[in-house]
Amino acid sequence: MRKDTNTAYKIYAPVYDRVFAPSFAEGHTRMVEALDAQPGERVLEVGVGTGISLRHYVAGVRVDALDFSAAMLKKAQKRLDKGGVAAEVTLHQMDAHKLEFADDIFDHAVVAHAIAVVAEPEVVLREMMRVTRPGGRLVVVNHYKEEPGRLSRAWDPLRRRMGLGKHFDLLELLQECGLQVVSDDIVNRIKSRLIVTRLPA
């Protein structure tokens, strides 16, 4: 994780749930539905942040949820301590570019509003594919701008420093990585794209 992004999330952590959560609610609900993880299955969630998605997983699912930001993870841990999360969740402080997991150990993987924030999205996706079993589902939800213009791209360096991500063609990247696209929908008040893919069997 870039140092400036880490600093940005230290600032966002205390207010994140109030500022961002309401806009992301629909996407989190639908992404976990699309993941369709069953009791006994193991799921990887990358860039879990304060853990607002975690309450959607059903009991019996094991979720390994990681983030690089200690401040965001602290909020996620508080959420777990309060109760109301049925799944068995383990939090990890980890860089998504270098996953400390063996190959093929997860049934499914998901990344919400973090793939455009990481320094190298392709490296992260390929890491997620490495640790997910063949035929597993990989779901991505991310804010989305149709055909970002030159002005929008000109702001990308500043957006990146603020930890707000950059613009790129997510669908194209997923396909380049060899993922099979199952569905591609628009969700959320802040227009986001929910793309469900499957790893080759």
Ligand X SMILES: C[S@@+](CC[C@H](N)C(=O)[O-])C[C@H]1O[C@@H](n2cnc3c(N)ncnc32)[C@H](O)[C@@H]1O
Q: Which residues bind ligand X (CB under 6 A)?
A: 1, 5, 9, 24, 47-49, 52, 66-69, 72, 95-97, 112-114, 117-118
**Least CB distance to ligand X at residue 174 (A):** 17
Give the CB-nearest residue to ligand X: 49
Q: How far apart are CA 126 and CA 132, in angstroms?
A: 10
Q: How far apart are CA 61 and CA 42, in angstroms?
A: 6
Sign of CA dihedral 112, 199, 196, 177: positive
The residue (of 74 and 180) whose beta carbon lies closer to ligand X is 74
**Least CB distance to ligand X at residue 117 (A):** 4
The label of the residue with tokens 């030159």 reads 150
Residues in the chain: 201
**Least CB distance to ligand X at residue 77 (A):** 13
**Least CB distance to ligand X at residue 51 (A):** 8
88: Cβ–Cβ under 8 A, 6 or more apart, which residues?
60, 61, 62, 63
The residue (of 82 and 150) whose beta carbon lies closer to ligand X is 82
The residue (of 1 and 34) whose beta carbon lies closer to ligand X is 1
The residue (of 23 and 180) whose beta carbon lies closer to ligand X is 23
Radius of gyration, CA atoms only, the chain: 16
Tokens representing residue 157 in the block: 């360096």
The residue (of 5 and 197) whose beta carbon lies closer to ligand X is 5
DSSP codes, 50-88? T-TTGGGSPTT-EEEEEES-HHHHHHHHHHHHH----SE
The residue (of 42 and 79) whose beta carbon lies closer to ligand X is 79
**Least CB distance to ligand X at residue 175 (A):** 23
**Least CB distance to ligand X at residue 69 (A):** 3
